[in-house]
Chain A
Amino acid sequence: MQRRRSSRARKQPLHAHHKSQNDLSAWQKGGTIHSEKSLQSHQSANDQKYDSEGESLEQALSYFEKVQDCAALKKKSVPQKHLDAVESTALKHGLPPEGFEILLNVVLSGKFADTVNIRLLKSLIPASVIPEDSVVKAVSWLCVSKCSGNVELLFLKWMITMFDFIDHKEQLHALYGIFFSFLQDERMCPYICHLLYLLTRKEHVKPFRIRRLLELQARMGMQSHLQALLSLYKLFCPEQVTITLPGKMKKWNAQLVIPASSANTNNLEEDREKKCLYLYSTNESFPLEQLHTFPQLLQNIHCLEFPSQMGSVITNPLLLHYMNCVRDESIYLRLYYWMGQMLQEECTWCMVNNPYEEEFKSFLQTVYKAECFLQEGFSACEEFLYKTLPLWDGFCCRSEVLGLLSWIPLSSFSDIKSYLYDPLAQLFFTSSIYFKCSVLESLKELLQNWLNCNAIQVDLESSSLNTTLSGLVNGVAELVHFVGWISTVGLRLENNSTLLLYFTLDFYETVCDMYLKYNLPLLIMLPAGVFYPALLSMDSVNLNQLCYIMYRYYNRYRTNLVAAKENELCKKQMLQFKFSDQTYKVYNQYIIAMVGCLWTSSAFQKDIHPQGLRMDDELLSKTAVKELKNSFNIVYHPAMMGYSIQFLQQLCPDDTTFNFRLIKGKKWNWYLEYLYTQGLKGLKVFIESSISRVSQDSWSKAGNVEA
């Protein structure tokens, strides 16, 4: 075996050395001592980046190198300073790449005592990388067993520890067989197994190697290092070896076990055909167990395979990403079957005395999180909900079920009413207020999900989309009407509770923005059963929400008019989605009612809505309430009283009589400003947009309000 001098730092001094050897004049000048001196001065002149420590390292390395060149040296004693130099440099900075070959050669050639070798091995810490050649040479030393067994073991441990620092590994892979042959040594076996574990690639797995390992296993019994290596072999070639590691025994069939992501073992067909090519191709699929980061996914996306059990993807965001990219129908079907069975089998309210409620709950949460991640619902989940809602008690796994509800996809499936709306309404009417609120929130999210899906489809002119668009519009309209109905009834049942009204109005905040935010040409007003309780609510929160919603409707109204004028909407759409006059009529009635109440103090007069506030004067006088007309304006409204009182307190801190009449003229404007600072943004935008539309007459009625 040729020993190459690969150390680059040596070139110059060697050259000088040769020169000095060839140079008779130098030889004559002082022989080797002089040449050594010139060597050292040459070095220190050139290697200016080394400090004194570096110098001593250089000296040490050169010493070790020369010691090798000298033949027939056994167990020579080493100057302490060289060992110290190596150790201290290694611990402080790490050794340069050049040093490894020299030191490894020294250690493994057995020239020195074990204590020296061990110290040197322990100092082999790289500053940057370890050149592969040095390791290859070291392995060749291993083959001739010049050093003691302990040093060999320590070397293997070192190799395992420093494996990632070795710059290239191609030659090491080529030496796989050599490493494998070391398995017969019982002491080295565990370390060799570990090393092989790091080196093994698919092409290394051969039947004779499998047999060898099995023989070892038979001889030594169950050893964890052998198990690990065999498991890796199984990963690459499951059709040749199989192993099951001892673990917890779980019930095998359909017991809420999300399977582990393991490689697909069902590739027999491909292997048959490729058997001959097998040895030569390096085409391998990336093992899923090693997929941990997103960059890895990107690098290996061309050679990834789905796991043998698709169910395992729902806990793995990387595989969910991958599933999004693959257009293979069979993976969706596999997932569909598995999920459908899991949901049916373990549904706790469909089984009597099912003790696994917690597991089922957490399973539902996992499915929900996967849906949120993918921003889309699973078919199996949707069907499960349709089947189970009529049987659900509204209590078991409530938040999970309602969460899953919000991901039901909108489809042209016409029976959604009977499968979803009817059972949901039944539960809604017979449940607590908190359930009602949760349902409304979940329906709001459902609406938003439907709208978001549509917003992604940009091309509105494509003919195939016309049917889709009208389907979407119908579906959304149906949902909004459904919510309008249940919330109206719900509010009556709960006595216009502020909490329920809050959630209802929250839903309508999404509804009023359907065109502006989500591009859906649909305009649906609040039902009267929601509008009036909000207008006359006892809580400013609800009133504020209502103002905001009416403002958004106003914007929508205005935009639509403008767009229609400028012919922005394409003709087809205008024909299809012509908004009824009824909608505008209702809107106008609401606006009149609101402005009449809040601003112009004509609460009971102008409201012409059939379910509105209009009342005859006769009837009003029977109430014996003074100052009826402004009883619902922004000063006297029950929801606003608190603010007007606080305002008066700030205005006249000493006055305890609360004279509301003071709020007029300039003070009215101050009062408005004060309200805006109290977070009533909805009120603000409503007044600023709508009130300017009202005629001058009503301004003067409101009590000398300045524009």
Chain B
Amino acid sequence: MAEEAPEDGAVRTLPSLRRLSRALPFGRSHGRLGVSSSGRHIVPALCSQEKADPQKTAFLLRKAWTLYSVTPLYRFRRCRLRDYARLLGAFIAAEKQKGLAVEVGVELDIKVALSSLADLRGSELDQDALLVQHFTCLPLFLTHGPESYTSLVGSWFQKTFDCCFRRLAISPLNLSWMVAMWAGCKLDRAASAVELIFSVPCLAQPLDISYAIHPEDAKALWDTVQKTPGEITQEEVDVFMDCLYAHFHRHFKIHLSAAKLVKVSTAIASAHCDGIVKILHSQYLPGVLMLLTELAISQIQ
């Protein structure tokens, strides 16, 4: 986020409410997965990354994570993680027993550990986590576990760092992007099928359609569609999806394009439109997280 130079005191007589976020010109991104005006999306991160240590990040895999977007955190210091853990622990304990005070730092039943996974941090130039004016932008929040704890942790973050949590829904458009990207990834071992689940609303009895495709077929299709390796355009995704729809229509005479795409599942990861993802492959973990981070950023703008 660029900063504006401070103006003359004589010129500016009213406070700078209007200067808020003028650095981000309005209309830059409108919900598309980081798609720039030309429609091209650079996907370097989906190349397999060897540097991520699989053991440290193993706990992230094969769990259903619920996604939230988070606005920039105010006065979050990476060096204070231990203090934050203490405070959060005390907060949770206090919430659990409403009305009883809890001393911070004392042994509790609840243990909170905050740590930073260096492997996933990305480079300094990443737009994802810039420190601007006391703010730290960590836009993606993944949670797994009982809703009560999620709400406690979220509330604590909101109160302590003045941020805002929102469920991150994934639109059918973004889901189709995901399936196109992930289906086209190279995998060394046998992969599971590429599955798309549609729901047909407004019927007497709701209808769910599950469309499974052999992973190699899907990859082959994508390879014929994609023009430039490392780049994906909206047209290519549309063509890919249209091919799938056409194939389905030929066999079943159902226009899937009229139904709502609610879930996509590939060997790399699966994503549900309610904002629930499961990452299955450690190699592509950073790439998937970057994708989700971009999604979160577009929701907080």
Contact = CB atoms under 8 A, between A and B. Distances in A.
Interface of A: 210-211, 213-214, 217, 222, 226-227, 230-231, 233-234, 239-246, 251-254, 259, 262, 265-266, 268-269, 308-310, 323-324, 327, 329-330, 332-338, 340-342, 344-345, 374-380, 383, 386, 409, 411, 413, 415, 419, 453, 456-457, 459, 462, 464-465, 468
Given A337-B164, A341-B166, A329 B100 contact: no
Contact of A330 (B71, B74, B151, B160): B74
Contacts of A456: 13-14
A183 B95 CA distance: 26
DSSP class of A's interface residues: helix, strand, loop or mixed?
A: helix
B238 to A, nearest CB: 23
A244 B103 contact: no
Contacts of A344: 166, 299
Interface stretch (B86-94, B185-193, B225-233, B279-287): B86-94
A211 B102 CA distance: 10
Given A341-B71, A377-B18, A380-B20, 20 more contacts: A239-B104, A240-B103, A241-B101, A243-B94, A244-B95, A244-B98, A246-B99, A252-B154, A253-B68, A253-B154, A266-B74, A308-B160, A309-B162, A332-B17, A333-B20, A333-B133, A337-B164, A376-B18, A415-B26, A468-B11
B250 interface: no
A604 to B, nearest CB: 51
B109 to A, nearest CB: 15
Interface in B151-202: 151, 154-155, 158-167
A239 B94 CA distance: 13
B11 A376 contact: no
20 contacts: A211-B103, A214-B103, A217-B100, A227-B101, A241-B90, A244-B94, A253-B68, A265-B159, A266-B74, A327-B16, A330-B133, A332-B16, A333-B135, A336-B21, A338-B71, A341-B164, A376-B18, A409-B18, A457-B13, A462-B11
B170 to A, nearest CB: 16
B70 to A, nearest CB: 10
A383 B71 contact: no
Nearest to B8: A464
B134 A330 contact: yes
A265 B74 CA distance: 12
Given A245-B98, A464-B8, A453 B26 contact: no
| Most B C-beta atoms less than 10 A away, residue of A211, A243, A332 | A243
B151 A253 contact: yes
Contacts of A334: 74, 162
A345 B20 CA distance: 20
How many B residues are at the interface, by size bracket? Answer: 35 or more
Nearest to A252: B151
B159 A327 contact: no
Nearest to B161: A266
B163 A413 contact: no
B75 interface: yes
Contacts of A413: 26
B203 interface: no
Given A332-B17, A378-B17, A241 B103 contact: yes
B249 to A, nearest CB: 27
A457 B9 CA distance: 12
Nearest to B165: A253
A376 to B, nearest CB: 5
B135 A330 contact: yes
A329 B133 contact: yes
A333 B14 contact: no
Interface string B259-301: 0000000000000000000000000000000000000000111
Interface string B48-91: 00000000000000000000100110110100100100010011
Contacts of A335: 20
Nearest to B88: A242
